[in-house]
Structure 1
Amino acid sequence: MPITPDIILVLVVLVLVILLFVFEWVRVDMVGIMVMVCLPLLGLVTPEQAISGLSSNAVVSIIAVIIIGAGLDKTGVMNKLAHLILRVAGKDETKITSMVSATVAGISGFMQNIGAAALFMPAARRISAQTGVPASHILLPMAFCAIIGGTLTLVGSSPLILLNDLLVVQGVKYEHFGMFSMTPIGVLLVIAALLYFRLLGKWILPPSKQVKVHGPLSPMLDKTYHDIGSIYEMRIPSGFQEQTLSELRIRSNYACSVVAAYNPVTHKRNNAPLRDDTLGPGDVLAVIGDKQFICKLAADYGWTYSAELKVFSDDLSPTNVGIMEGIVSPRSRLVGKTIGEIELRKKLGVVPLAAFSGHEMIISDLSNLTISEGDALLLHAKWSTFHQLKDQNDLVFTEPIQGEPIREEKAPWALGCLAVTMFMILVLDIQLSIALLFGAMAMILGRVLTIDEAYRSVDWMTVFLLAGLIPLGLAFENTGAAKMIADMLMNAVGVPSPTVLLICIGLLTSFFTLFTSNVGATVLLVPLSMNLALSCGADPRVAAMTVALAASNTFILPTHQVNALVMRPAGLKSVDYLRAGTGMTIIFMIVLVAGMQVFF
């Protein structure tokens, strides 16, 4: 096939795109927009094809599934999922990464990998916030395993779904593959990826410093209220005589505040125990105080304490609760009342920790403090409670309030929307984008989140990155560049051995899927590889399967929709994909070729 000016032009565009990705002269979404604009100006695609990415199945699916994930996060479902993972994995980075990645890989075998990754992303980010593990160290392995999970079943990825329809060469129809024909190889690929990150993670993942998980105070508040201390979990042993919180006089004697209590018999949790609440044997308390006073409290009553939260790891995680400083406003209804009269614990579930009145910080005797205009109150509560207090205008908070109100009452509706969406995809075989849009629409109509919240949840950088790369793949096909490269490689190889043939097919497919759609690469290369296999005396079904599986070997650049999805939330750069993806690409090829020879 002759090399035309259009082929040369599209190859030049490809090289420039790679350079822009690697050196990051402009942001990646800007690269997508530049490609979208320049290709039709150069005559490589039609204007309609240039903007077709914005309405593509992949891009629309990403928008919809992000909204669904935001709805699940808004109702606290993702928080509970994060809690379950942390209960098993603790705060061990390797265990967390392996567990999240393996779970997403398994789900990706039965639904589109972009959906599995997007649904798990809020939970992964919450885990990062709670444990201090960098988000990139969770999301990048998760993204790679989500992509590889598509190789587990015949419905795991678009190339495998198309595979049986393409098993026709020279007028001969070959035997179709079964639902789990490729599962042994897919399992080996997932295991290889998990071992890759487990053994080499410290060298291949972004060298970001571990996120510092502050104590109960933000850095700014810590400068003022450093005497408050940290949060500890204290356990009351058997034999302890029941007493009320007021009888124990923990605040006045030890300058400590009990912010939560748990009864293992009744399983009752109280995030703001009252003065008259009774504490007894087996109860677990969350107490904020200076370590020396915590030690004295434990020694005096025979309690045990730990700086690691286990019982309250979810209830008191930084994503759920926090400490804020509120300044009493001039028109506040609190002025002239004592803190005891306000009953913050009983009415609002807020625990007062300290107060600044005049130039004096008060911790021990808060109940009798009469509040004046301009006093500063240090309060512990759920973020949703702080949002409510902000709307009442009694307090002016000195820092932005984190989080958003959780609509737990909408959790059943959100889960129902997800279940119906999955039913539409897996059972009714409705197109992915339409089914996901239905789920997103149902979330909004069910008031799980507002339409404005839905718009804000979408990462538009990801949308424009993918929308711009889709026409680049079309340009490769329109100009004949894709076919020319495939023909040149196959002609150079000649009549290879079956092993060399599989390696060439795998490398060629992996190259194309970095820049073109995996569907386009599969449609182009399956017939080509089957014909070449016949000429070499190899099994054409094995060659076709190699193409369909190798279409998931796309890790070096953030061009795959899953890689693009996690790029900004994880704070990743193109070089991070290059560093981690190079080794993953090589391992994928080795396992794929070896697996094909063993199982086929």
Structure 2
Amino acid sequence: MTPEIITVMAVLFFAVLLFIFEWVRVDVVGIIMMVLLPLLGLVTPQQAISGLSSNAVVSIIAVIIIGAGLDKTGVMNSMARIILRFAGKSESRIMTLIAGTVAIISGFMQNIGAAALFLPAAKRIGNQTGVPVGRLLMPMGFCAIIGGCLTLVGSSPLILLNDLMVVGGTRYEAFGLFSVTPVGLLLIAAALVYFILFGRFILPNRAEDENSGPMSSVLASTYSNVGSLFELHVPDTWERDEPLRALALRPTYFCTLVAIARNGGNSHLFAPNAQETIQPGDHLVVVGPGEFVEHMAEDMGWALQPELTSFAEELSPNNAGIMEGIVTPRSEFMGKTLADLRIRERFQVSPLAIFRGDKLFVSGLIDIVIEPGDALLLHGRWEMFHMLKGLPDLVFTETIKGELLRTEKAKLALLWLGIALVMILGFHVQLSIALLTGALGMVLTKVLTIDEAYQSVDWMTVFLLGGLIPLGMAFENTGAAKFIADSIMAALGTPTPVVLLTVIGILTSFFTLVASNVGATVLLVPLSMNMAINAGVDPRVAALTVAVAASNTFVLPTHQVNALIMRPGGYRTIDYVRSGAGMTVIYMVVMITALMLFY
């Protein structure tokens, strides 16, 4: 063991301590590695910063931009809608559908690409259903990593495998595209069962800056009596042909009607005006205190629904909510009533309350003359608030969620995604270049602006991976990786097939946590094949064990997929340890069992 090997092992131990105890943020750990490794002479200065321009990091940047383009054009809304149609609001079904879909896609494209493309959809589904996004992203990320084992083009180690199976000048029979599929399917099934059974105990409930209600906690403290969203069904026996004003819902029940669905849910009316009439079979959405909504439903003969159904998507926190707007001194609202302004017809937002001085008005709003400084509490879809934000009449007290979707650009976004995939799969263009082509195409065709593209990139992920790549280089440069592998292999003697494959799997899993999976594969495939020959085991199976075990990387956020989901899921390193420890053991057991059964 040389001084260089001792030094790089000490640096590795230091990095692991930083990850576990979180003395600094994980991206800062990456930057520390970039600075520390060249100062210790373990890598050259060029190698220390080469991670930022590596194929993996550039691919992540490009695929995040492509994902942002798909989200900006509403494609991911459609994807979320399809998943919810099948999964409903069951957390386990939602998790299974998202994770299973991403796993299958990962079998045919790089796992980071599949995870990044589905990240916006998973976040939208979490917001819409109230399932914490932290309980969706980790299963999705783990299954994206495992999905690379479905085919021989799903992960870099498997792509390299056939080229590395040469021992003593003898090239062994190559594996076919789907040779590894039985193993991959069993691993995915095991992962899904693991999260279905134990997810509630091992997955965190928190998420970064997510709010599942229609109103922020700040507004809720001021307007505590406004209430929440409720849906009611008007029976077919309803006979009162009166306008909403005559029903006096607000003065009597302090409830505001914000939307109507009719014609079997095919026609949706937002912010109906006072002259609108309620028809038999309508579904109504109101904002009001729960006890008053119940009294109203009883008095009117309407059926209170347990949750939003007709407007589950359109009025979900993803797409709609409550905002407070302050009337400006130059506003056209001054000196007029809400009835004069026709605020419902013009902007499709529903007034819920007016706050003036220290008084809160929740009834008779349409007749109140607006004054500068009045605070209007409004319910509506985020796209309407974005339109209002562009006018000089109101200043909103909080950042408006959502964004104006460019749905007319959806076909262009899908076209550029398709071009990138064809370049990768059909013409074998390098991953980073193909994905950058797709990202650039989206910018040039105005699917995204260049500023939106920059803002979409999670730079914490970029610097985390950029710093870990040179750590893997240092492991290989100093000979530490080869020293550890040789020492373990020499200590084994002549093991049984199960023991040999288990040790190879454990060794590979360790190296993929601290170095690149490609580096671990290049190093360990020849070593494991030689050991297998000496032990009388099929060397092809030993090589395949290395390539599959290279995806067994769950207990630290060092894999690029784990790094990608860390911030959106609100994860800490301990969350990966808690969830990944069991997954690592299960992965190893299922992998060895499958290899023994099928090979």
Q: Residues 466 and 223 from structure 1, CA distance in 2 versus in 1: closer, same or farther, beyond 3 angstroms? A: closer
Normalization by structure 2: what TM-score?
0.95
Q: Report the equivalent of 1:512.
A: 511
Q: Is the 8 A contact 1:130 1:213 kept in 2?
A: no
d(CA) in 1 for partners of 2:415, 2:544: 36
Per-residue CA deviation, residues 183-239 of structure 1 (Å, 9 max, x unaligned), is 111111111111111112233223659999564332232233223222111112223
**Superposed displacement of residue 315, structure 1:** 0.3
Q: Which moved more, 1:504-513 or 1:34-43?
A: 34-43
**Superposed displacement of residue 80, structure 1:** 2.9
Letter in 1 for 2:233: R
1:570 aligns with 2:597: no
Equivalent residue of 1:367, what SS? Answer: helix
Q: Report the equivalent of 1:331.
A: 330
Q: Report the equivalent of 1:98.
A: 96
d(CA) in 2 for partners of 1:223, 1:25: 35
Q: Report the equivalent of 1:67.
A: 65
Q: Is the 8 A contact 2:323 2:377 kept in 1?
A: yes
Q: Report the equivalent of 1:183.
A: 181
Letter in 2 for 1:136: G
Q: Which moved more, 1:441-450 or 1:76-85?
A: 76-85
Q: Is the 8 A contact 1:272 1:351 kept in 2?
A: yes
Q: Is the 8 A contact 1:133 1:211 kept in 2?
A: no
d(CA) in 1 for partners of 2:520, 2:167: 17
Letter in 2 for 1:575: I
**Superposed displacement of residue 82, structure 1:** 2.4
Aligned length, in residue pairs: 598
d(CA) in 2 for partners of 1:416, 1:283: 40
Structure 1 segments unaligned to the other structure (5+ residues): none
Which of the residues 2, 11, 14 maps onto 2:12? 14
d(CA) in 1 for partners of 2:27, 2:212: 33
Letter in 1 for 2:441: A
**Superposed displacement of residue 277, structure 1:** 3.9
Q: Report the equivalent of 2:396.
A: 397
Per-residue CA deviation, residues 448-507 of structure 1 (Å, 9 max, x unaligned), is 222112111111111111111111111111111111111111100011111111111111
Q: Is the 8 A contact 2:22 2:573 kept in 1?
A: yes
**Superposed displacement of residue 403, structure 1:** 2.7
Q: Residues 228 and 207 from structure 1, CA distance in 2 versus in 1: closer, same or farther, beyond 3 angstroms? A: closer
d(CA) in 2 for partners of 1:380, 1:508: 57
**Superposed displacement of residue 334, structure 1:** 0.9
d(CA) in 2 for partners of 1:334, 1:137: 44
Q: Report the equivalent of 2:285.
A: 286
d(CA) in 1 for partners of 2:123, 2:16: 29
d(CA) in 2 for partners of 1:16, 1:446: 46
Q: Report the equivalent of 2:409.
A: 410
1:119 aligns with 2:106: no
1:492 aligns with 2:491: yes
Q: Report the equivalent of 2:273.
A: 274
d(CA) in 2 for partners of 1:212, 1:19: 29
Q: Report the equivalent of 2:227.
A: 229
Structure 2 segments unaligned to the other structure (5+ residues): none
Equivalent residue of 2:367, what SS? Answer: coil
Per-residue CA deviation, residues 223-272 of structure 1 (Å, 9 max, x unaligned), is 33223222111112223236554454433443322211212447122222
d(CA) in 2 for partners of 1:415, 1:249: 48
Equivalent residue of 1:126, what SS? Answer: helix
d(CA) in 1 for partners of 2:556, 2:109: 23
Q: Report the equivalent of 1:173.
A: 171
Q: Which moved more, 1:274-283 or 1:201-210?
A: 201-210
d(CA) in 2 for partners of 1:219, 1:473: 45
Q: Which moved more, 1:309-318 or 1:296-305?
A: 296-305
Q: Is the 8 A contact 1:326 1:377 kept in 2?
A: yes
d(CA) in 2 for partners of 1:357, 1:205: 45
Q: Report the equivalent of 1:132.
A: 130
Q: Is the 8 A contact 1:509 1:547 kept in 2?
A: yes
d(CA) in 1 for partners of 2:461, 2:486: 33
Q: Is the 8 A contact 1:71 1:443 kept in 2?
A: yes
Which of the residues 191, 194, 210 maps onto 2:192? 194
Which of the residues 143, 147, 150 maps onto 2:148? 150
Q: Is the 8 A contact 2:265 2:310 kept in 1?
A: no
Letter in 2 for 1:341: D
Q: Which moved more, 1:354-363 or 1:548-557?
A: 354-363
d(CA) in 2 for partners of 1:232, 1:266: 16
1:455 aligns with 2:454: yes
Q: Is the 8 A contact 2:207 2:569 kept in 1?
A: no
Q: Residues 404 and 207 from structure 1, CA distance in 2 versus in 1: closer, same or farther, beyond 3 angstroms? A: closer
Q: Report the equivalent of 1:552.
A: 551
Q: Residues 39 and 222 from structure 1, CA distance in 2 versus in 1: closer, same or farther, beyond 3 angstroms? A: closer
**Superposed displacement of residue 63, structure 1:** 0.6
Q: Which moved more, 1:236-245 or 1:539-548?
A: 236-245
Alignment of 1:219-368 (within 5 A): 219-241=217-239, 244-246=243-245, 248-265=247-264, 267-357=266-356, 359-368=358-367
RMSD: 2.0
Q: Report the equivalent of 2:523.
A: 524
Equivalent residue of 1:586, what SS? Answer: helix
Q: Residues 215 and 468 from structure 1, CA distance in 2 versus in 1: closer, same or farther, beyond 3 angstroms? A: closer
Q: Residues 36 and 215 from structure 1, CA distance in 2 versus in 1: closer, same or farther, beyond 3 angstroms? A: closer
Q: Is the 8 A contact 2:416 2:442 kept in 1?
A: yes
Letter in 1 for 2:461: T
Q: Is the 8 A contact 2:554 2:576 kept in 1?
A: yes
Q: Is the 8 A contact 1:36 1:471 kept in 2?
A: yes
Q: Is the 8 A contact 1:131 1:213 kept in 2?
A: no
Per-residue CA deviation, residues 537-596 of structure 1 (Å, 9 max, x unaligned), is 111111111111000001111110001111111121112211211111111110010000
Q: Residues 589 and 358 from structure 1, CA distance in 2 versus in 1: closer, same or farther, beyond 3 angstroms? A: closer
**Superposed displacement of residue 409, structure 1:** 2.4
Q: Report the equivalent of 1:203.
A: 201
Alignment of 1:423-462 (within 5 A): 423-462=422-461
Normalization by structure 1: what TM-score?
0.95
d(CA) in 2 for partners of 1:538, 1:396: 73
**Superposed displacement of residue 139, structure 1:** 1.1
Q: Is the 8 A contact 1:134 1:210 kept in 2?
A: no
Q: Which moved more, 1:392-401 or 1:65-74?
A: 392-401
Q: Report the equivalent of 2:48.
A: 50
